Amino acid sequence: MQPSSPELKPVEAGAPAGGPAPRAPSNFIREIIIEDLRTGKFGGRVHTRFPPEPNGYLHIGHAKSICLNFGLAAEFGGKCNLRFDDTNPTKEESEYVEAIIRDVRWLGFDWEDRLYYASDYFDQLYEWAVQLIKAGKAYVCDLSPEEIRQYRGTLTEPGRESPYRNRSVEENLELFERMRAGEFPNGARTLRAKIDMASPNLNLRDPVMYRILHAEHHRTGKKWCIYPMYDWAHGQSDSIEGITHSICTLEFEDHRPLYDWFLDQLGIHHPQQIEFDRLNLTYTVLSKRKLAALVEGGYVRGWDDPRMPTLAGLRRRGYTPEAIRNFCARIGVSKTNGIVELSLLEHCLREDLNKRAPRVMAVLRPLRLVIDNYPEDLVEEMEAVNNPEDPGMGTRKVPFSKVLYIERDDFREDPPPQYYRLAPGREVRLRYAYFVKCTGVVKDERTGEVIEIHCTYDPATRGGNAPDGRRVKATIHWVSAAHAIDAEVRLYEQLFTRPIPGGEHEDGNFLDDLNPNSLEVLAGAKLEPSLRGAEVGSRYQFERLGYFCVDPDSRPERPVFNRTVALKDTWAKIEKALKEGGKQR
């Protein structure tokens, strides 16, 4: 489907993301890479990877990691792989694999032919485990998961050695082979690295490398009933792929000694792990566990619900890849976790849409306006500007006639002070058209509600100016009733009412802070006819109301629009205030 008017070029969904990602301000990771290039540490190579676990959809926090990994590779002429960390068959599904591939692509990044799966390395990992057993660096342990926990000790107390720690190499090899052959039930045994039960770093207290899990894997099927743990799979996968800089979030800082230990024991290519701060956003949860709970609990309509912070949700909401990449560049990376204002993300979106989204007129809560002195059958084509920010976007014709719809909120029978829009006896400008003056109202006999207003127009004011120089204090938008498209419009607010859903403490329940008004459906909106056939995903500014985009639920005869974001930009105000404050000093 094409937009009906050729001049009207919406910002299309899935359009190739134009231009390179904006360059982030310099940061400590870039400094490390520059230094490694200077010293020739990795032979002048830069090779990163983005390693999602396919147990949910990607969210805006992942976008930060994607932009960072792909962005650094691009900046230094290197490569970035997409690798699925698919080591947990019970929680992972191919639905998620497909969604992740779609979303990374949509964000504008390309891994060329380097799409990998940790599960591709299961054979190699098994061989390496055997190598560690033979070197006396790994053993089969019969403690239950609960016992392993008890033996591990705490931050203040050393752990205790497992009674199975000193099994002979032969016995370990035999038991490990039998684990793989499926002779033992889930949880009966594990393979553990033999490191140091007294280490101050709990990750080094004989960490589990393999567990028994009789579960079918979405790629390897029933081939395996032992699965590698994250720490055992991750660094070795990095090594196999020749990764140089393994960039991950701060919670893995304490895992780095283990990452290094495995690679050193095996004596294989050794990437450098570097940690950065996770993205946290106000009024948002960014953990797949919590996002899955929202979906499974029916609190939202799915992973791509426009209120979700997933890339699929943001896309459906009308976010552009450019806005998200720009946001990721602006927030940068650091070594301390903080929280970013949601309004900054919205600001980046408005900045982008303001320049690119065509402006149109739409009435969300219609009120009939009849122009008594306008000829019954006349239809005039009014010339309207598609985007004043970009004259190249041209103009279009909008039909004008005797009966219009205006926004209910643009009329008050009894206007309060400072209200300059339409009221009995008052004159306003209809955007791109004429001055009209309200002469009367029609009310519902039972409810007393105003259901129609009557006006006269001044034919001399065509185009919106009075030759006699008289002024009006307001300009309102409208849609010709006979030409209007009926539409459903969905208005969204933040999904949560508190900046940190559930509060600062781990025991708080984020579901307690769900916003009961996060979705409002307006069934009777009226759109100007140029929106007929608007493509799913295309984005517009509805004049005076905000940015909107076409939802996939649309039908040709009945489009559905999502409000992407309102026009008011609190972040722009904050920035302005900061700048002005800065000047005074």
Q: 9, 12, 53, 498: which is the annotated catalytic residue?
A: 53
Q: Catalytic one among 152, 278, 462, 544?
A: 278
| Strand ranges (E), 304-350 | none
Q: Nearest to ligand ATP by Cβ — which residue?
A: 61
Q: Which positions from 7 through 26 interact with Mg ion, judged by CB under 5 A?
A: none
Stretch that binds ligand ATP, among 33-41, 59-67, 108-116, 543-551 (CB under 6 A): 59-67
Residue 253 is a binding residue for ligand ATP (CB under 6 A): no
Going residue by residue from 266 to 295, which x/- string records binding to ligand ATP, judged by CB under 6 A? ------------xx------xxx-------
CB 223, CB 248: distance < 8 Å: no
Among candidate residues 112, 114, 89, 109, the one with its CA nearest the CA of residue 21: 109
**Catalytic site includes residue 288:** yes
* Min separation Cβ 267 and ligand ATP, Å: 26
User: Among residues 53 and 277, whose Cβ is nearest to Mg ion?
Assistant: 53
- d(Cα 58, Cα 311) in Å, to the nearest integer? 6
Instruction: Write down the residue that tokens 């002195």 correspond to.
Output: 373
φ and ψ at residue 158, rounded to 5 degrees: -65, 160
Does residue 426 have an active-site annotation? no
Q: Which of 277, 353, 350, 389 is nearest to 575 (CA)?
A: 350
Beta-strand (E) ranges in 357-484? 359-360, 362-363, 366-371, 380-385, 395-400, 403-407, 427-430, 435-443, 450-457, 475-476, 478-480
Q: Say which residues have a Cβ less than 8 Å from residue 345's Cβ, sequence separation at least 6.
A: 60, 281, 323, 324, 327
Please tell me the count of residues contacting ligand ATP according to CB under 6 A.
15
Q: Does 177 contact ligand ATP by CB under 6 A? A: no
Beta strands per DSSP E along 265-420: 272-276, 359-360, 362-363, 366-371, 380-385, 395-400, 403-407
Out of 49, 288, 426, 490, the active site residue is 288
Cα gap 543→531, rounded to integer Å = 13
Among the listed ranges 51-59, 94-102, 150-158, 220-228, the one in contact with Mg ion (CB under 5 A) is 51-59
574 touches ligand ATP (CB under 6 A):
no
The pair of three-digit structure tokens given for residue 271, joined into one six-digit string: 């990437």
Our answer to whether residue 219 is catalytic in this structure is: no
Binding status of residue 27 toward ligand ATP by CB under 6 A: no
Strands 539-542 and 226-228, how do they pair? Answer: unpaired
When binding is defined by CB under 6 A, the residue of 62, 317, 347, 477 that contacts ligand ATP is 62
Shortest CB 53 distance to Mg ion, Å:
5
- Beta carbon nearer to Mg ion, 81 or 326: 81
Q: Which of 52, 89, 235, 271 binds ligand ATP (CB under 6 A)?
A: 52
Stretch that binds Mg ion, among 45-53, 268-276, 410-418, 430-438 (CB under 5 A): 45-53
Min dist. Cβ of residue 248 to ligand ATP (A): 5
Q: Are strands 190-193 and 138-141 parallel, antiparallel or unpaired?
A: antiparallel
What is the binding site for ligand ATP (CB under 6 A)?
51-53, 61-62, 64-65, 85, 248-249, 278-279, 286-288
What is the binding site for Mg ion (CB under 5 A)?
53
Residue numbers annotated as active site: 53, 278, 288
